[in-house]
A and B are shown apart, each in its own frame.
Chain A
Amino acid sequence: MQPEKKVFTLLRSAIISIIENKIILLPFLTIAFFQILAIEILYFSPKFPLNVFFGPLVSKLWSPVYMHYPQNLVFLPNLFQNFNIGLYLFLNTFLICTAVSMIGAINQGEKADIKTALKNLWPRYVHIVTLAVIIILMTLGLDWAYERVFRRALEIRSQSGKFYMLKIIILSSKPFISLLISVFAAAVLAYTFPLITLEKKNVFKALAENFKVLWRAWIFTFFIVFWPTLIASMFFMFRTADLTLKHPELSIFLVVLGLIVATLTDAVIYTAITTYYLAWKESRKEGR
């Protein structure tokens, strides 16, 4: 028998699980800690002594303008995105797997301990980084494809009719489509995390097995990721260009706040995904 596929019931039980076992939050808060530390460093990057390193780097890769106030703060989220790719590759994915390992232990009635989880996962590090590379390549690929569609839409000259409608839809839905892309990339490979962590599968076997779980629950999985991500993205939507130019520091504060909320929603998403995966595994055992 398949496990129950009620999105909000599962999300609620994930929240309750986190409240009862706050230790699950620790890996996610560690991710947030490193992200905020990165933002702090980037925030002070135009000042001495950090400008010795960042000055030539930013000037060469982007523009010297971004080493001056307030343009540096307008540019900071873009710069952070580049740093975050590095963090995601080498740290965030590993810590998410640590959290999944702890959730697995809690589900089996064992004591969740971050040190034990990290120690057990260390031999799986190469597989986890490979998974991170695949996720990043997929997200960048989807972004690239959407960018092409967006640019093509800009070239549509029609002032009425179906092509004009298409242009308006594509141009006005950019933030929502970007959100959908990130949700899709996270959802489509969601079960590889518990498969690599709990089943100790190599990354390619985990990918194959992931699609077996996803096969009968893809809409359900999509919404498990979608609803919490939507809440987190609202914080980033408050940060408009106008606000950034009027109150540069406030806009950075909103980015930090958004990161904290995203950390909490990630905790809910991966707790829900792991819980569903374990239930799915149990149901398969019973089926046999």
Chain B
Amino acid sequence: MKKTLLIYLAVLAGVFIVLNFIDANGSYEAEKALWKINAQFEQYTKDPKTIPTGAYEGIRKKYQRFIEIHPKSSLVPLADLHIGHTYMAMKNYDKARAYFEDFIKKHADNPVLSVQAAVEITRTYALEENEVGVTKSYDRIIRDFPLTDLGLRTPMLVADFYKHTNQKARQQKALEDAKAHYIGLTAQYPDSPVELKALQMLANCYVEKGEFSRAVDALEEILLKFSDPRLLTPQAMKNLVTSINAIVITQLKDYDRSIKIYSRFLEKYPDHPAAASFKSLIAKFEMLKKENVSVILKKK
């Protein structure tokens, strides 16, 4: 029995050693190494008062070492961004901004990556409570990275910034600018994913402005124009329908509006996989309408 157990242990140890050493600097090992540095960094930022001196500098060196060990890893840009974050954690905002600027230059061919650094620059200004810096930085994102996800969201972020700093007039102005920006994008990039995202943001913009009917118009346009599941995934369609229903029921109180939207959809796409659920939604709104009418009659 002892011999058998020794064989088992040797096999387990052998398999472990072999699999551990094969592809020792591969992408999985890189993921693991970066996760561990990130976890330690996160731990420090959770409770900055208790961390030892030089801790962030240590983390920065770890990211640097990660880049040296895994130069070909797809995670290198992420580690590079985190180096900028360590400067932010050390409250060395000038250095952080310079680092992020370098990052933007280094990844100029990849707007999805460089926009993240631009957003971090905005955050450094926000942390310094430098309003001019924040707005300038937002303007730059809108100008230089208009078609990235972050770039598309930025006009609304500007409005949010003014909302949270209690500047109502500026918030309204920012919402007007955002509206014009999104309408411009829909005209500039028709029938494209950019138009889809711009319409979604436009709907948010209308909701924020309290123009609920226009918000439903924008959502309806998405539904009727982008029914292809490759563009509007089933989950995204579900969210869209939930938004329409929520606005119609709570704000507009006009059930015919939903019935008309879903009827138009069925007319345009009778064989769509979601057709059955739209038919059931129409039936539910019809019922709601009847119940509403009977309540009104009873009150009379």
Q: Is B28 an interface position by the 8 A CB rule?
A: yes
Which residue among A23, A30, A36 has the maximum number of chain B CB atoms within 10 Å of its CB? A36
Give the interface residue-count category, chain B: 10 to 19
B12–A69 touching, CB < 8 Å: no
A49 to B12, CA, bound (A): 18
A-contacting residues, B1-57, CB 8 Å: 1, 4-5, 8, 11-12, 15-16, 19-20, 22-23, 26, 28-29, 31-32, 35, 39
A69–B32 touching, CB < 8 Å: yes
Give A227 Cβ to nearest chain B Cβ, in Å.
Answer: 27
Which residue among B15, B22, B32 has the maximum number of chain A CB atoms within 10 Å of its CB? B32
A266 to B138, CA, bound (A): 64
Give A31 Cβ to nearest chain B Cβ, in Å.
Answer: 11
Q: Which residue of B15, B22, B23 contacts A37 across the interface (Cβ within 8 Å)?
A: B15
Give A101 Cβ to nearest chain B Cβ, in Å.
Answer: 16
Q: Which partner residue on chain A sits nearest B32 by CB separation? A: A69
Q: Which partner residue on chain B sits nearest A68 by CB separation? A: B31
The verdict on A47 contacting B16 (CB below 8 Å), with A37-B11, A69-B32, A70-B35 known, is no
B-contacting residues, A67-84, CB 8 Å: 68-70
A202 to B220, CA, bound (A): 66
Q: Is A53 an interface position by the 8 A CB rule?
A: no
B23–A29 touching, CB < 8 Å: no
By a beta-carbon cutoff of 8 Å, the part of chain A in contact with chain B is: 22-23, 25-26, 29-30, 33, 36-37, 40-41, 44, 46-51, 68-70, 246
Nearest 4 CB-CB pairings of A with B: A44-B19, A48-B23, A33-B8, A69-B31
26 A-B Cβ contacts within 8 A?
A22-B1, A23-B1, A25-B1, A26-B1, A26-B4, A29-B4, A29-B5, A30-B4, A33-B12, A37-B12, A40-B16, A40-B19, A41-B15, A41-B19, A44-B19, A44-B20, A47-B23, A47-B26, A47-B29, A48-B22, A48-B23, A48-B26, A51-B28, A68-B28, A69-B28, A70-B32
